[in-house]
């Protein structure tokens, strides 16, 4: 029965809570149902009341809407039906007859036979898997063959994810006869629907078409730190739209992770091969590796020929710094750095350290000295690490050891920040005394004048400096 058209009486237009409605002239009185205040429903135990039609599929809520409300149909009726287990499905009209596999079809190689069936599976809309491989025969089947064995019968299921295997019997067997591979058996019927649409094929493992040229281009983008979303936008431009792309964004992320794993695999072996290649190109390239008791690399030192040439010219003063650490291994990266006649930084050598113990620094200093033909620097600057201070005299007995100004000030930055806020001009005067080339006596005099001027005789930060 058609739903009656309800309208409010004109006398109720100014009511604060209009909930009474009148039927149109000649129409039967409306049925009153209770419903929650926040929505539309037919619960008899709820609060508010409003009229709805006799047909429950058409509902009008006068307080909120001026038109009939009808829930949208989000699922096709045929998709809500329970599949018929006896139903069988085969490729559609989109598959050309000459692309359909048939018994006794012959191919020169096994790869040609597999590629032919793979192309048919793509056109028909299903994925295939390699089921059995023998010296003279191959068996390939639909990827939904068999049944899931992840859970044993009666075992409680711990994951909501279900298996796609439905014991599909579609398959083909290829056997070698003489010099040819023959389709000995072909079963084309499936017990599940087929999905030949491009946006569905990209999720099937056997149809993820990874063109080598495109994949090499993707690898280059990933090496340049291009984001996955930007990479997908570029590939979308190539294919017209994302539906036509033969892979997903997850595939791109998996490929990047795979490349990272390959890059990190056998890293020590690759590093040695790189060092040997550098030495083959230039005999002056120097490297040394110290191993621990188990034979694993512990410390690594290397120096290029140009680094050794720079040390011969500008190696009077050397800074040894272990502030930086490698991201992946979290190991200290030590560098021997100096300054040339243009006041530019020059590097004399590198070292990857297993730890920051005294014996480790002793090995690094001795290796550096051997690399530089036993030439000692006049002065070496380090941070306030006691292990370094203990290792230096045994390797460089004639070298003056001083602490790096940056490390000293960085270790007192919190206390100095408080003093800078309390005393105007203290920062400029302090940095001037430290950076200006003064003799020891001039430095001591300028320092005492600054301390007396600001009354910092008992300040712990100034006393520590």
> How confident is the model over 277-288, as pLDDT tens digits?
999 999 999 999
Given this model, what pLDDT does residue 377 score?
Answer: 92
Q: Which domain holds residue 358?
A: 283-402
Tell me: pLDDT of 370 over 80: yes
Q: Is 202 part of a structural domain of the chain?
A: yes
The candidate with the shortest Cα–Cα distance to 110, out of 165, 175, 159, 43, is: 175
pLDDT greater at residue 195 or residue 372 = 372
> Is the residue at 274 inside a domain?
no
Cβ neighbours of residue 70 closer than 8 Å, sequence gap 6 or more: 57, 58, 59
Residue 250 scores a pLDDT above 60: yes
Is the pLDDT at 14 greater than 70? The verdict is no
| Residue 382, pLDDT score | 87
Stretch among 76-80, 86-90, 161-165 having the lowest mean pLDDT: 76-80
| Nearest partner of 236 among 245, 246, 228, 227, judged by Cα | 245
User: What is the reported pLDDT for 287?
Assistant: 92
| pLDDT of 363 higher than 90 | yes
Judge whether 178 lies within some domain: yes
Count of the separate structural domains present in the chain: 5
Provide φ and ψ at 269, rounded to 5°: -65, -40
Does position 356 have pLDDT exceeding 60, yes or no?
yes
Q: Is 375 within a domain?
A: yes
Q: Do residues 377 and 304 share a domain?
A: yes
At 23, is the pLDDT very low, low, confident or very high (cuts 50, 70, 90)?
A: very low
| Residues 418 and 389 placed together within one structural domain of the fold | no
Q: Identify the pLDDT of residue 301.
A: 94
Same domain as 287, residue 393: yes
**Residue 3: band (very low, low, confident or very high) from pLDDT cuts 50, 70, 90:** very low
Q: What is the pLDDT of residue 4?
A: 45
**Residues 353, 251 share a domain:** no
C-alpha to C-alpha distance for 361 and 90, rounded to whole angstroms: 73
- Whole-structure pTM value: 0.50
């Amino acid at each position: 029965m058609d739903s009656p058209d309800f309208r409010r009486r004109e006398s109720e237009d100014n009511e604060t809570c209009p909930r009474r409605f009148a039927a149109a002239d000649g129409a039967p009185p409306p049925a009153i149902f209770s419903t929650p205040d926040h929505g539309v429903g037919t619960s008899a135990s709820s609060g508010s009341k409003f009229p709805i039609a006799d047909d429950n599929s058409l509902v009008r809520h006068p307080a909120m809407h001026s038109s009939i409300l009808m829930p949208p149909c989000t699922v096709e009726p045929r998709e809500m039906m329970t599949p018929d287990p006896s139903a069988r499905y085969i490729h559609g009209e989109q598959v050309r007859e000459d692309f359909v596999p048939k018994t006794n079809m012959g191919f020169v190689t096994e790869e040609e036979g597999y590629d032919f069936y793979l192309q048919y599976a793509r056109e028909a809309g299903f994925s295939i898997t390699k089921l059995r491989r023998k010296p003279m025969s191959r068996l390939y089947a639909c990827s939904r063959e068999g049944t899931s064995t992840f859970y044993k019968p009666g075992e409680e299921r711990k994951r909501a994810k279900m298996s796609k295997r439905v014991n599909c019997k579609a398959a083909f067997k290829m056997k070698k006869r003489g010099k040819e591979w023959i389709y000995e058996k072909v079963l084309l019927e499936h017990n599940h629907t087929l999905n030949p649409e491009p946006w569905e094929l990209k999720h099937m493992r056997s149809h993820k078409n990874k063109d080598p040229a495109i994949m090499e281009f993707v690898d280059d983008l990933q090496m340049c730190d291009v984001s996955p979303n930007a990479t997908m936008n570029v590939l979308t431009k190539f294919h017209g739209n994302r539906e036509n792309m033969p892979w997903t964004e997850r595939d791109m992320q998996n490929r990047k992770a795979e490349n990272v794993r390959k890059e990190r695999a056998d890293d020590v072996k690759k590093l040695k091969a790189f060092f040997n290649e550098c030495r083959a190109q230039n005999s002056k390239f120097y490297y040394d590796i110290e191993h621990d008791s188990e034979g694993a690399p512990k410390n690594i030192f290397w120096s290029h020929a140009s680094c050794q040439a720079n040390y011969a010219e500008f190696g009077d003063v050397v800074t040894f710094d272990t502030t930086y650490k490698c991201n992946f291994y979290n190991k200290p990266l030590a560098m021997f750095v100096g300054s040339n006649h243009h006041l530019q930084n020059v590097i004399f050598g590198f070292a990857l350290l297993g730890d920051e113990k005294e014996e480790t620094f002793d090995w690094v200093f001795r290796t550096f000295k051997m690399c530089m033909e036993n030439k000692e620097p006049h002065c070496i600057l380090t941070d306030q690490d006691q292990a370094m201070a203990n290792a230096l005299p045994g390797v460089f007995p004639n070298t003056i050891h001083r602490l790096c100004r940056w490390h000293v000030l960085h270790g007192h930055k919190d206390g100095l920040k408080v003093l800078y806020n309390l005393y105007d001009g203290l920062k400029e005067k302090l940095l001037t005394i430290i950076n200006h080339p003064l003799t020891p006596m001039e430095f001591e005099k300028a320092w005492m004048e600054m301390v007396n001027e600001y009354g910092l005789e008992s300040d712990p930060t100034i006393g520590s400096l």
